[in-house]
Structure 1
Amino acid sequence: MAAAEWTATPNGQRRPSLSWQTLTGQSGHDQQGDGWVDILHPEDRHRAMTAWHTAWTHGPTFDTDFRILCADGSFRWYNCRAAPLLNGQGAVVEWLSVLLSIVASARFASPAARPVSEFTPALARSARAMLSWSILDLAEAADVSPSSVKRFEAEDGVRGMTRLAICRALEAEGLHFSVNSRGEISMSMGSAHRIAPDTVENGAYE
């Protein structure tokens, strides 16, 4: 059963939700726009906003876990999912979202618990976009050749040590890679690093 439901405009601006207000105590006025983030755990806010920005700018859906400060004063883990409602021309009319209670989150476990073999080329490309890094930037940070980075991101096969070096270089910049209970790999960024609003939209793949 959903703990709360909410909708948003095509450009990601949240609308007031009575069920969200009941859950958190946050007024309808304070929920609007990006105000809903204020009720999240400080460690989860930037990651949640980044995921939401990526969803409504690129789609197709939003699916992430975060902790919410509930009306009783305690933080609890929830899974938030959102999908766009499209018109006949395929344009987004609005976003529909549901908040599901979960017992605990394994999605952001310690990076040390993640086997290096699970670090994928897709994660490397997304991580570079988050950091606004070029292939050369990543190569220099990982102390590998640019061609090795290109081969890895092209899924052309590289040595395990190269994969490890790339992963560790990105982790050194505050990125964390983890596996959730469904075996899905996700990425989050430490609070010390900020992602520019247009970084994900514009990308940084070359």
Structure 2
Amino acid sequence: MRAEVDLVVPVKTLDRAKSRLVGVGPARSALALAFALDTIGAALPAVRTVLAVTSDPAVVLELRALGVESVAGPEGLNEALGFGFDVLRGRDPDSVVGALQADLPALRTAELAAALAAARGRAFCPDRQGTGTTLLLSAPGEPLSPAFGVGSAEAHAASGATPLTGPWPSLRHDVDTAEDLALASTALGVGRRTAALLTPVCG
């Protein structure tokens, strides 16, 4: 994809994040923060800009330490993405704007870069189950039209987005449950912040 790519990453307030992560030692809020920071840290070298949409002051503080811009926006996922899209597209009308989920703690920079390079026009990456979406990209200068939620992969395909199904397992492995996290940790390896939380549990 030749145009510059800017990403919107929505991050829920930590007290509402990852409600399905039960049976894991560290607090859900700490894990959700680690997921987001590992995801964004891996994404940064692959794109021009990462803009986080979050209203949580703890998240804002951590992102500031990484040099990542954040803006307060709506809590609803598609609403937050639309808000971030408007901010980024207002800065560069011809850019590609992408939506990246914040729960990809195993994300590898090279795999994200490969998916971005493979995209032609509006495109999306389905999750490993094939039903959800981890990444959605606009065409240059065109709307993003996010439809995240149950069955989002089908919804994005039906709206004309092209699926990205190359060899990038870390981009497809979002974490919603303890089982997802265990698989990400053992099969792929998670980022350092997530790993630091899990090490005392596993050690």
TM-score in same-fold range (> 0.5): no
Q: Give 1 or 2: higher helix fraction.
A: 2
Q: Give 1 or 2: higher strand fraction.
A: 1
Which structure's relative contact order is higher, taking Cα pairs within 8 Å and 6+ residues apart?
A: 2
